Every structure is written in C-alpha cells, then in structure tokens.
C-alpha cells in the first residue's frame, strides 16, 4: 500500500575503506571540477551534471556508493537523491573530503615519525 522510503547510511573513513576493499564499491565525488582536479580520493568517480544521466543509466544499482563532498553536508542530499533513483547501498562519508585529507595527513606524519625512530 505505502512504499517504504529507503535511507542512505553514514559511514566513517575507516568503514569506507573496508567497504571499498570487500565489496563492489566506489567513491563518488560531488565537488566542483577544480577541487576534484586538485585532489580526490583515488579511483573516485567525479559525478557532475554533465555525466549524471550516464551514471544513473550505467551504474549497477546494487553497487555500494560512498558519496562525498567537502565536509559531508551536501553529500547527504546527493546520497538521498541516489537512493531515490533506485540505488540500494548508498553512504554519505562523514566529514567529507576534508576528513579524508586530514586522515591521510595524520597517516603520513605517523609513517614519517616511524622512519625517524
């Protein structure tokens, strides 16, 4: 009678890396072209208005999609949109790209500290 609304999930960087390794999954970057060109999560798909139709038509609806923006705010709307388009496993990355970049910087510092010791 009533269609149950599907909701996306929130995911941390650590959880996202595990999903990427263990499932058919992809990072989906919704930031602007300049930001994406400057830096992005390796192998991320840059989703724009220009490639949206092709993405919606060609991407497997059962793939795990981890959507990110700058700080994890706009990715919520994009994740909800993708769920409404029939995707079944959609996540919004907590903290967005800034959280990812910070995590990478911390990892690099830890590795450099180990090399010094």
Task: Please provide the size of the chain in residues.
Answer: 117
Instruction: Please tell me the distance from the alpha carbon of residue 33 to that of residue 48, in angstroms, as a whole number.
Output: 8
List Cβ neighbours of 45 (8 Å cut-off, separation of 6 or more): 26, 27, 28, 29, 55
Task: Choose the catalytic residue: 26, 41, 69, 78.
Answer: 69
Q: Look at phi and psi of residue 44 and say left if phi exceeds 0, alpha if psi is from -120 to 50, else beta.
A: beta
Instruction: Please tell me the distance from the alpha carbon of residue 38 to that of residue 62, in angstroms, as a whole number.
Output: 30
Is 59 a catalytic site residue?
no
Instruction: Give the residue numbers annotated as catalytic, written as ranges.
Output: 69
């Amino acid at each position: 009678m009533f269609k149950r609304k599907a909701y996306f999930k929130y995911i941390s960087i650590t959880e996202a890396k595990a999903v990427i390794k263990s499932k058919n999954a992809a990072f989906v970057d919704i930031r602007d072209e300049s930001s994406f060109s400057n830096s992005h999560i390796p192998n991320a798909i840059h989703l724009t208005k220009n490639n949206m139709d092709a993405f919606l038509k060609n991407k497997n609806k059962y793939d795990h999609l981890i959507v990110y923006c700058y700080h994890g705010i706009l990715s919520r709307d994009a994740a909800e949109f993708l769920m409404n388009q029939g995707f079944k496993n959609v996540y919004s990355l907590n903290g967005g790209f800034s959280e990812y970049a910070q995590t990478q910087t911390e990892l690099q510092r830890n590795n450099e500290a180990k090399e010094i010791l």
